[in-house]
Every structure is written in structure tokens, then in C-alpha cells.
Amino acid sequence: MSTAKILVVDDDIAVRNLIHRYLNKQDYAVESAEDGKTALTLFEQLNPDLVILDVNLPDTTGYSLCQEMQERTGVFVLMLTSRSDEEDVVQGFQKGADDYLTKPFSLVELGARVAAVLKRQRIVTPAAAKCITVGSLTIDPGSREVSLNDSPVNLTALEFDLLHFLASHPNRVWRRSELLQEVWDYDYVGEPRVVDVHIGQIRRKIEANSEEPSKIQTVRGVGYKFEDT
């Protein structure tokens, strides 16, 4: 297996160097940048597997940079933020982030998150590539495209993974902890609300009324299930 390439973007030189040295010791190929302009130049040169991206940068925002990078390659993005308000978390996920860490954080936790994100696979095997059609909703795992009423639905990579997983197991109720394990592929150490945030985003894109969803149902006190009827 080739060495994973990671780009670290943070304007705090102490944080940037600390992360860089730690990940180098974990046998990753690491480059780092202090601003958005430098980050995009390195992004084109490195074609990283993962970008660790601070929200606050001197010449742009991490949110804007995340979106631009996602549009170019669909790269994995781990956001770093000093704020943990739900609006900040939602905004990061809307721009395509796969995960987030709130400062201050431990390097051990960072390492676990990095390993878990890189372990996730966005390319499905042919056996799992069968299209799923439920009413006017079509999910194509081969092309990673979703359409509703023959119109494309713009989902982030993680939103697609979560929707496809639920739709692949219709009518089964999944606990949040189970979804974190199955979709994120690790025991999430943050708030389980990360699942709720993503479910809310998906509902707004595929449901006629996200307040009264017909496809992704909430099972009170347990979790979620996908209705195929």
C-alpha cells in the first residue's frame, strides 16, 4: 500500500509544525501551508489523500478552501476549529468536510481520526455497485451520483456514504453508534450529534418536506432507518 499523502493547512506555526512532525513519525508523506494561496499550490503539486484544514486562515476561510478542494478532487478533509458551535460544524460538513476536531486536541486523537478517515473507501466494489431506486430517488454507487425526479442531487462524499449505507439496508433501524462504526468506520469520540447533522443535511436535499421525512425515518430513542416503500 502506498504512503498516504497529507496536506496540513494552519496559520499557527506551532500547531502546524506539531501536526507535521507527528504525522511524519506515523509514516505519512506530509506537506504544510500557512495560508490558502500556498495551500492550493501544494494541493495541485501533492494531490493529497487528506487535507487537515484550519477554519481560520489569513487570506480565506477553511470553509471556502474545503469547498474548492472538494470540487477539484473530492479529497478527504478534516477540519480544525476553535469553535464547537453546531452552526460551525454544519457549515464545515456542507462544504464537504469528512470530520472535524475542536482545538485543543491530543495528537493521539488526531492520529486516530486521520487513520480512520483514510481507511474509509469511496470506491465501491462491483458487487456493491448496483443502483438503488426508491420511487423518484436513484442512488448509483458506481458513479457516486444521486438523482431525484431525474435531477441531480449534490451530496458531499460523506452524505453519499451515509445515504447509500442506509438505503442498502432498508427498513432496518440503526443506532447512531452503529452508523458511526459502519459509515465513519471508527468509534467516534466526539458528540454523536454528528450523525444528526448529516441526516439533516441529506433530508433537506432528498425529502419533499425535511420536517416530515418519508425516506429517512427517525426512530425515537434509537436512531434512523431508510424506508423503501
Q: What is the CATH number of the domain that holds 195?
A: 1.10.10.10
pLDDT tens digits for range 64-82: 999 899 888 878 899 998 7
Q: Which of 119, 153, 172 is the last residue of a domain?
A: 119
pLDDT at 225: 96
Q: Are residues 183 and 213 in the same domain?
A: yes
pLDDT at 192: 67
Please count the other Cβ atoms lying within 10 Å of the Cβ belonging to residue 188.
Answer: 19
More confident position, 71 or 46:
46
Q: Are residues 23 and 115 in the same domain?
A: yes
Q: Are residues 147 and 191 in the same domain?
A: yes
Query: How buried is residue 12: exposed, middle or buried, by Cβ count under 10 Å (0-12/13-18/19+)?
Result: middle
Domain limits at 47?
5-119
Q: Are residues 134 and 191 in the same domain?
A: yes
Q: Are residues 157 and 215 in the same domain?
A: yes
Mean pLDDT score, 57-64: 93
Mean pLDDT (the chain) is 87
Q: Are residues 111 and 132 in the same domain?
A: no
pLDDT tens digits for range 126-164: 555 689 999 999 999 888 899 999 999 988 878 888 999
Q: Are residues 154 and 217 in the same domain?
A: yes
Q: Are residues 113 and 138 in the same domain?
A: no
Mean pLDDT score, 12-18: 95
pLDDT at 27 over 70: yes
| Ranges 7-11, 34-38, 91-95, 110-114: which has the least confidence | 91-95
pLDDT at 197 over 90: no
Domain count, the chain: 2
CA distances from 142 to 96, 125, 127, 176, 198 (A): 19, 8, 10, 26, 22
pLDDT at 23 over 60: yes
Q: What is the DSSP code (8-state) at residue 105? A: -
Q: Are residues 26 and 115 in the same domain?
A: yes
Q: How do beta strands 174-175 and 223-226 pair?
A: antiparallel
| Ranges 35-44, 81-90, 133-142: which has the least confidence | 81-90
Confidence tier at 20 by pLDDT (50, 70, 90): very high
Q: Are residues 13 and 103 in the same domain?
A: yes
CATH of the domain at 90: 3.40.50.2300
Q: Are residues 9 and 115 in the same domain?
A: yes
Q: Are residues 144 and 90 in the same domain?
A: no
Q: Which of 119, 139, 163 is the last residue of a domain?
A: 119
